[in-house]
Amino acid sequence: MSRVSGRLAAELKQTRPFQSRRQEGTLALLRTADVVRRVVSSVVEPHGITLQQYNVLRILRGAGPDGLPTLEIASRMIESSPGITRLLDRLEEKKLVARVRCPKDRRRVLCTATSEALRLLAKLDAPVHHADDGALRMLSDRQTDALIALLETIRTGPS
3-state secondary structure of 18: coil
3-state secondary structure of 2: coil
Contact present, 56 and 91 (Cβ < 8 Å)? yes
Question: How much is the average pLDDT of 100-129?
Answer: 91
What is the amino acid identity at position 27?
Answer: L
For residue 1, pLDDT beyond 50:
no
* pLDDT for the residue numbered 151: 94
Q: How many helices (H) and strands (E) does the chain have?
A: 7, 3
CA distance 13 to 68: 45
Instruction: Read off the DSSP letter of residue 98.
Output: E
For residue 49, pLDDT beyond 90:
yes
3-state secondary structure of 109: strand
Structural domains of the chain in order of their starting residue, each with its CATH number: 48-156 (1.10.10.10)
* pLDDT for the residue numbered 12: 86
Q: In which band, very low, low, confident or very high, does the pLDDT at 159 lie, cut at 50, 70 and 90?
A: low
**Summary mean pLDDT of the chain:** 91
Closest CA to 54 of 149, 144, 152, 122: 122
